[in-house]
Homo-oligomer: A and B are copies of this chain.
Amino acid sequence: MASENTANRFLVRTQTASITLPPEGFVLTSGRALKQLDIAYETYGTLNEDHSNAILICSPLTTDAHAAGWHEGDRKPGWWDDMIGPGKAIDTDRYFVIAQNMLGGCKGTTGPSSINPDTGKPYGSSFPKITVEDMVHAQRLLVKHLGIDVLEAVIGGSMGGMQALQWAVGYPDKLRKCLCIAASASLSAQSLGFEVIGRKVILNDPHFHGGDYYDKPSRPDGGLAYARMIGHITYLSAVAMHQKFGRNLRPGMEPANFETGFEVESYLNHQGESFVKRFDANSYLHITHAMDRFDLESAHGSLENAFRNSQAEFLLVALSSDWLFPPEQTRQLGKTLLRLKKVASVVELNSPHGHDAFLLEVEHLSAVIRGFLHQVTQDAPRPLPRRVRNGGASVEFETLSDMIKPGSHILDIGCGDGSFVDALFWTRDITGIGIDRDLDHVVACLEKNVPVVQANVDLGLAFFDDNAFDYAVLNRTLQEMKRPREVLREILRVAPRAIVAFPNFGHVDNRLALLRHGTMPVTRALPHHWYDTPNIHLFSLNDFRRLCVDEGWVVEQLLPVARSSRSRLLLNLGFRNLGAEWVIARIGRRTDSRIP
């Protein structure tokens, strides 16, 4: 992953901030206090004059303050150097970036291996239990120590993502953007299970000595290594492990003592051995324990309560094959934020790399983070798009937007690059959220500051409560849905009104093609062959109207769209189902609907 170009290396060094504390010390959630608080940190980029361009990086479980750049003489750059630097996604030409070692760590920030000022010896077993809240509290003190009040963004992956969420909850007006990557508001039962075992294995190590091993000849390296190995498997995916190791034997490995000789064992041995060289068992116990206990829902009664006051804009990124923090948890969190009407986007990156993808999927993650951070802010509206969709036939912007009352809040299903929502915002004072599956579209939305949920329609609609919107727009994709009636029902659950544009299979050309030739029509509105068309549920204007009648939906407007002169002639003669190439319909919920 590391950049090979030494010419571009920027040298950095880790500093230590000794935080000035009140007489009672740094008071922890537990009520206990630390008399002294040191925080190891690094900074990249330059703080601007009004101190408004600072970004805080929250690090994963076991990384240190060295997130980017190079230490003099090192062979590898900081752990997230792919993401942070001049011109990179977290652009140090624009931002002043702060990375730090978390409270409880062993890399310069106060933790169980630090000297206890009361005894002059390492804390060891006397180090008090800490929480993620305490960690973020310490980060807040560091940020203030550096002369910054409000952060432009807090960005974290894995456990760092939990910290980013805690920032938005604990300091709701002290960050403008919250980026939570491959993390959630609490660990799942399965992930908890593995964590729990990891700690037991450390505690059972013959060299643990109740945590006071710092003056002993040996440390609980076995236990710590095995705990790390368990964790390490949860960072990878089954597919990634299969591809990486399969059942290959490690050449030259002499399996001893119930070893297998497989590459996967040799790799795990290596992971364990290198981990114990750089990490402290007590820190591992304290930090994982804090992570396991972190639960915004139980701490605040509900996720809604937790995030209610937050003023941040949110970007949540899940990784498709992550089983430590499964995407479903991210979806649930996104749902909560959207329910609270927060500006929030939810992205699900497709990757085979499991949880580790947040360190490996540099290109896609960069595009998403860059898009969200560097939104093109503007004072004047962009030029109006005449057509809303990129590529293919398209329905005019004016026709659609005239159907929507100014000042409304809309959902644009299959929103493409977000142009439609963006244009409605600038021209009609309409706000909106998009749903789209395509990552390029999602990034384009983020760049326009159009909140977006990356999902297919079925999953996407489940994000939203009843009546979350005034209108839902489904432009040209109803015929591609597996279960179009259920999709329409869902749409009229999340909004009282829907605007639906679809190709009319009752158009004269389609009928004649079938009648004359007995073949499935291939036309401008339906340009595919029968065997590769995405249009799997063809229907006509009349079919649609009939469904609305059957379901009790109110057809408020039904605009036939025609381009050819024959079509227009038919429309003028009143033959709407014959003349309409396309139909744009505005429909409303049934009048006796139980949705209030």
Identify the A interface with B (CB < 8 A).
Answer: 186-190, 192-194, 196-197, 199-201, 203-206, 222-223, 226, 229-230, 233, 236, 238, 241-242, 244-247, 257-260, 262, 264-265, 268, 285, 289, 292-293, 295, 298, 323, 326, 482-485, 505-506, 510-511, 514-515, 517-520, 530-533, 536-543, 546-547, 577-578
Contacts and interface: CB of A to CB of B under 8 A. Distances in A.
Given A196-B259, A483-B532, 6 more contacts: A188-B238, A189-B241, A189-B242, A189-B244, A192-B247, A518-B540
A543 B519 contact: yes
Contacts of A293: 260
Given A293-B260, A538-B538, A204 B192 contact: no
A268 B201 CA distance: 13
Contacts of A201: 201, 204, 226
A247 B298 contact: yes
B515 A538 contact: no
B538 A520 contact: yes
B543 A268 contact: no
Given A201-B201, A247-B192, A260 B289 contact: yes
Contacts of A533: 537
Contact of A242 (B190, B226, B540): B190
The 10 A-B residue pairs whose C-beta atoms are closest, nearest first, are A506-B518, A536-B536, A206-B206, A485-B531, A518-B577, A189-B241, A204-B222, A530-B539, A190-B238, A189-B245
A257 B129 CA distance: 10
Contact of A192 (B236, B257, B265, B520): B265
A337 B163 CA distance: 51
Nearest to A575: B518
A259 B197 CA distance: 10
Contacts of A238: 188-190, 323, 326
Contacts of A196: 229, 259-260, 262, 264-265, 268
A193 B537 contact: no
A550 to B, nearest CB: 9
Query: Most B CB atoms within 10 A — which of A229, A233, A540?
Result: A233
5 contacts: A189-B244, A192-B260, A196-B229, A260-B292, A519-B546
Nearest to A220: B204
B326 A189 contact: no
Nearest to A288: B258
Nearest to A191: B238
Given A260-B293, A295-B247, A537-B531, A226 B197 contact: yes
Nearest to A480: B536
Contacts of A236: 190
Contact of A539 (B268, B485, B531): B531
Given A518-B577, A531-B484, A268 B193 contact: yes
A541 B517 CA distance: 11
A542 to B, nearest CB: 5
B193 A233 contact: yes
A155 to B, nearest CB: 26
B543 A538 contact: no
A566 to B, nearest CB: 16
Contacts of A188: 238, 241-242
A138 B292 CA distance: 46
Query: Most B CB atoms within 10 A — which of A187, A189, A323, A326?
Result: A189
